[in-house]
Amino acid sequence: MARTQADRTAVTRRQILDCAAEAFARDGYAGTSLNEVIARSELTKGAFYFHFPAKEELALAVIDDLRDQWTSAVSHAGDGDAPALEQAQRMAALVVEAYSRNRRLRAIGRLVPELVVARPDLAAQLQATLFLWIDRIEAVVRRGQQEDTIRDDLGARQIAETIFGAFNGVEEYSELVTRGEDLARRVDTLMRLLGTGMTATQPSEGRAHK
């Protein structure tokens, strides 16, 4: 069956987004040029600019696209009836698997901070992408506090944000020294440390969940 114009348009857009995500993941927003992405996409400038006339517009589209891919890849993380600490380990494993299978996902962590600085008026919209994952972590932490398996002298959101920040740091360092090859080992170490720090030492009385 012959492709329709809509099919060809979708294929071209997909090609551009994939090439751009690879470039942004590697070089960030400032370090990526549209000429480079155009060359990698093997499209004419006219065909490319028809879809994305500016780098900022392309970057925002990449973030939206990768957010959807990320959500699909880890959609079941935190679901189910397993104890909260077990779910936390499962979430970490899913994240490592997603990052290892799709290196383009790393573009989110590079693009969002740079664009927040460049376009503070878009900060809320951009940060919402990151907050989706923090919300999931918070839900698991809060349930662990209710189960008396996770300490509750710290707020669930506070713990979730710290976990998210720690993972980002580990991921960036792994990318720096091994191009992400040792990410699974480093995340395992992080989860062991976090598990010790988060675990409730005894059932708490008069919880003050935040």
Segment 116-129 mean pLDDT = 89
pLDDT at 208: 47
pLDDT at 175: 86
pLDDT (tens digit per residue) in 31-60: 999 999 999 999 999 999 999 999 999 999
Domain boundaries, the chain: 56-198
CATH class of 56-198: mainly alpha
Mean pLDDT in the chain?
Answer: 86
d(CA 150, CA 199): 5
Does the structure show a pLDDT above 90 at 110?
Answer: no
Does the structure show a pLDDT above 50 at 125?
Answer: yes
pTM, two decimal places: 0.78
pLDDT (tens digit per residue) in 7-23: 788 889 999 999 999 99
pLDDT at 53: 93
pLDDT at 78: 55
pLDDT (tens digit per residue) in 164-178: 999 989 988 998 899
Does the structure show a pLDDT above 80 at 188?
Answer: yes
Residue, of 82 and 15, whose pLDDT is higher:
15
pLDDT at 204: 47
